Amino acid sequence: MGARSQVVRWGSGLVVAVLAGGLAACAPMTPGPELPQIPAEACYDRSTQPQTAVVDSHLHFRPFGGAPVPFDEVMGYLRDTGVRYVNVYGIGQMLPVDSECTYYLDCVGTPVVPTLKNDFANATDLLASPPEGVHATLAMTFPDLSRPESVVAGIELLDREFPGMFRWMGEVNLVKQALFGNGHEPVPGAAIREWAPFMSLLRERGIPIAIHSDLGHDEDPTLYLPLMQEVLDRYPDNRIVWMHMGLSLELTTLPAAEHIRLMRSMLDRYPNLMLDITWRIIDDNYFSRADYQPLYVAFLNEYSERILPGTDFLASSNKDFDVYRTELEVTSRILRFVDDEAFRNIALGQNHFRLLGLADEAPAVCGDRE
Ligand SMILES: [Zn+2]
């Protein structure tokens, strides 16, 4: 642990973490103040410290349209809830600039289209105001996966304007049924086969890609599974994160045992695949059900190195701190029940650090919780 060990306050508890790299934004940072040394045996006490995740791997700082909650204000939400690591997402598609809407479902019929605007805005905000006490990883959310020829050009543009700043790609849409009314269509298989140039660029840079791909809907729960399989078969060496475990508001009645069996088979078959358990609808419809919860807890324990936590908060100006705090609590609720190893991997950030190649180490969980 050595000279760079730090005491870090996570949330309201007296949380102690040994972070080799300290806390820093992805842009170059100046070192923080010297903090007192801690004994190597310091551990995270789940009985007294927050059971919510210290990582929000999925947070949209930009809305579909209209004004966002100011960047600094969202960073304040994170500090106030003990979140110390965040992936800064834009949004994968926007309403036209002359639209009155902030949410696409309020403007069905109006096409939403992928755009670079959000990525520019987030990078500019991060440069202007590096957040204190929050490690921010900038995400490219512009790619239109149906137009793969445009993706490398977009990456090159961001390279020129913000060199080295973007270390994540997503959330990008392979198929999102909720957007069908706004002109979105599932990405055709032929387009997936043309992803190779940008997928190899991501591999070279060690950048994960976070993909929203609905499994299906209640009448046909695995309708779109072949699309995700095509991606995973074609690009097995990319680090791919599957958003929401394929679940959505269109798929709320898939039996847990079937869903878990499918997730297991995918994780076993594709070693570089990870699952994102963000978005409160997962807790609302699956994790919180008394008959489902033990099944999901066992699954999360067994595959604990393959799971990423987060809120899927969308920072449109009609949202506030209470909404963020509630979404963090709801999306973290299942983490109360997982074992200590899973808690460390998922909630305390070890998976996030490993996936992003950060030197940080999550603290051990204190034993004898009973
Ligand atoms: Zn999202």
DSSP state of 210: E
Q: Counting Cβ atoms within 10 Å, is residue 1 exposed (0-12), middle (13-18) or buried (19+)?
A: middle
Cβ(45)–Cβ(12) below 8 Å: no
Q: How many CB atoms lie within 10 A of CB 206?
A: 11
Which pLDDT score is estimated for 115?
Answer: 86
Distance 62 CA to ligand 1 centre (A): 11
> Structure tokens of 327?
């979404």
Distance 29 CA to ligand 1 centre (A): 28
Q: How many CB atoms lie within 10 A of CB 318?
A: 12
% of the chain at pLDDT higher than 90:
78
| pLDDT at position 28 over 60 | no
Please, what sign has the CA dihedral across residues 156, 160, 161, 167? positive
Give the number of C-alpha atoms closer than 13 A to the C-alpha of residue 316, restricted to the C-beta side: 15
- Please tell me the pTM assigned to this model: 0.88
Looking at the domain that runs over 51-356, which CATH code has it been given?
3.20.20.140
Determine if the peptide bond prior to 194 is cis (ω within 30°). no
Distance 197 CA to ligand 1 centre (A): 25
Distance 178 CA to ligand 1 centre (A): 12
**Listed range (20-29, 158-167, 262-271, 317-326) with the worst mean pLDDT:** 20-29
pLDDT tens for residues 263-312? 999 999 999 999 999 999 999 999 999 999 999 999 999 999 999 999 99
Distance 268 CA to ligand 1 centre (A): 25
Distance 32 CA to ligand 1 centre (A): 31
What mean pLDDT comes out for the span 65-92? 95
Q: Counting Cβ atoms within 10 Å, is residue 30 exposed (0-12), middle (13-18) or buried (19+)?
A: exposed
What mean pLDDT comes out for the span 38-53? 84
The helix/strand/coil state of 59 is strand
Q: What type of residue is 178?
A: A
% of the chain at pLDDT higher than 70:
88
Distance 173 CA to ligand 1 centre (A): 10
């100006």: which residue's tokens? 317
Helix (H) or strand (E) run with residue 34 in it: none
Distance 368 CA to ligand 1 centre (A): 37
> Structure tokens of 144?
């239109």
What mean pLDDT comes out for the span 183-209? 96
Distance 16 CA to ligand 1 centre (A): 30
**Listed range (84-98, 196-210, 308-322) with the worst mean pLDDT:** 84-98
| pLDDT at position 50 over 80 | yes
Distance 18 CA to ligand 1 centre (A): 30
Cβ(365)–Cβ(46) below 8 Å: yes
Distance 45 CA to ligand 1 centre (A): 30
Q: How many CB atoms lie within 10 A of CB 53?
A: 28
Distance 142 CA to ligand 1 centre (A): 13
User: What are the domain boundaries of the chain?
Assistant: 51-356
